[in-house]
Every structure is written in structure tokens, then in C-alpha cells.
Chains A and B, each alone.
Chain A
Amino acid sequence: MHHSTKKWLVIKFSSIILIPLMFWFIVNLASIYDESYIEIVNFFAKNSSKALYSLFLIAAFSFFSLTISEVFEDYIDNEKIKNVATKMLYVFAIIMPLITISSILNLN
């Protein structure tokens, strides 16, 4: 399978997963964002929230890193800058959800 085909399939697969998770997250965010610290921690401390939020972050960062790399492809002319920007984007898309998920897992 061609590299671009694989990339396209991953984008589509992550978007299918992301759509319901985005809806779940934004509804819950609208529900808790102005609540007290305790209420917010209680929400993220639930096992179901931890699992769904982790899945949401993994799908979101996979999707956005791949689609933003497409934007780089379209708008950055210089190959070297494009490659560096894309690699930095991919590294960031791995590190950021990992740190966030690990901080959420520690909440009780």
C-alpha cells in the first residue's frame, strides 16, 4: 500500500473515532467548565471519563497532526522546513497526549 493511501486511511479512521468523542467531550465540558475544582477533578477521576478522554486525545492528536501536515504540504514551499515542521508536529502530537493522559490517570 502506498504511503499516502495509508495516511489517508489513518486520517479517515481517526475522524470516524473522533466524531462521537468530540461530541461526548464538548457536552461534558459545557456541563463542568464553570464548576468547582472538586467537581472537575471528580469528573476526570471517573474511570469512564479517564478512558474516553484518553481515547479522545489519542484520536484528536492523530487526526490533527496528520491533517495539519497536509496543510504544511500545501503551504510550505521549502522541503527542508516542511520536513522539520512535520517531524516536530508528530513528536508534539505524541508527547502532549502522553503527558495529559498520565496527569489524568493520577487523579483520584
Chain B
Amino acid sequence: MYEKNPLSPHLQIYKWHLSMILSITHRIIGVVNSVAIILICLWTISLPFGEENYEIIKILFQSFFGKLLITSLSWSFSFHILSEIRHLIWDLGYGFDLKIAKITGVITIIGSLVLTVLIYILGNFFI
């Protein structure tokens, strides 16, 4: 009986709403960011092997795909940062009201796009 416990969440049963979409997206983005950080680790591990071995990675990063990759990563990091702050606010006992939860959800989505632009500006013009 114990092993037959239902697994959550029941995506096919409940009507989709913003908090549900954000919760699922938070999990998926968490996994995506984990994979991205593993790739970043492999990138930094490759550095001590010298400049010649780095050429392929450099060509990739300087291509359109490389720029798209970094922009996507900036958004996924931004989304995860804001969504995690939302979860921390919930952990403190605030923001459970349905209206507030919707507002913070919208802030997370729009904020992640704004933060992505901010990261681009900071990374390219201020550092």
C-alpha cells in the first residue's frame, strides 16, 4: 500500500493556474541550472589544459549560439533567483494570500526578464 502512494504533482487532474505553472517552471529551471553549472564546471576544468584546447569553446562562445546560450542562462538564473526569493518570503510566513501570490508570480516572470537585461548591461558595460 505504501509503495502505491500517488506521486505528486497531479498535472493531469488540476486546472492550470499561475502558481502551479511557476512551481513546475521553478523545478524544471532548477534542473536546467544544475546541468548548466555542471557544464560551467567542465568549462573551467578545461582552462588549465591550455589555450590550444580552448579554441573550440572560444569559437562556440563567440557564435550566435554562444550568445543565445548565455542570454538563456542569464534568464534561467534570474528566474531562479527571483523564484527562490519568493519561496523564502513564503517560508517567513508572508505572501500566501491568493491575490498576493498572483502578484508575486507576475513580478517573478516580468522581473526575470528585467533582470536578464540588467545582467547584460552590467556584464557588457560596467564590468
Q: Is B62 an interface residue (CB 8 A)?
A: yes
Q: Is B70 an interface residue (CB 8 A)?
A: yes
Cα–Cα, bound, A57→B33 (Å):
12
Taking a contact as CB atoms closer than 8 A, the residue among A40, A41, A75, A99 that contacts B7 in the complex is A75
Q: How many A-B residue pairs have CB under 8 A?
A: 105
Pair B124/A64 contact, Cβ less than 8 Å: no
Q: Is the CB of B127 within 8 A of A29?
A: no
Bound CA–CA A79/B58 (angstroms)? 44
Residues of A contacting B: mostly: helix
Whether A31 lies near B47 (C-beta < 8 A) is no
Hey, what's the 0/1 contact readout for B25-36 against A, CB within 8 Å counting as 1? 001001101100
Interface extent on B, as a size class? 35 or more
A30 lies within 8 A of B41 (CB): no
The contact string, 1 if C-beta is below 8 Å from chain B, for chain A 65-93, is 00110010011011100000000000000
DSSP majority for the B interface?
helix
Contact B33 A64 (CB under 8 A): yes
Q: Which of B30, B54, B66, B78 lies in contact with A67, CB distance below 8 A? A: B30
Q: A15-B84, A64-B37, A74-B8 are in contact. Are A30 and B44 (CB under 8 A)?
A: no
> A27 contacts B88, CB within 8 Å?
no
Taking a contact as CB atoms under 8 Å apart, the answer to whether A30 and B88 are in contact is no
A31-B81 in contact (CB<8A) = no
New contact pairs (17) apart from A26-B73, A68-B34, CB-CB < 8 Å: A12-B88, A15-B87, A19-B85, A22-B80, A23-B77, A29-B40, A33-B70, A34-B58, A34-B66, A36-B58, A37-B51, A41-B47, A44-B47, A64-B30, A64-B33, A68-B30, A103-B47
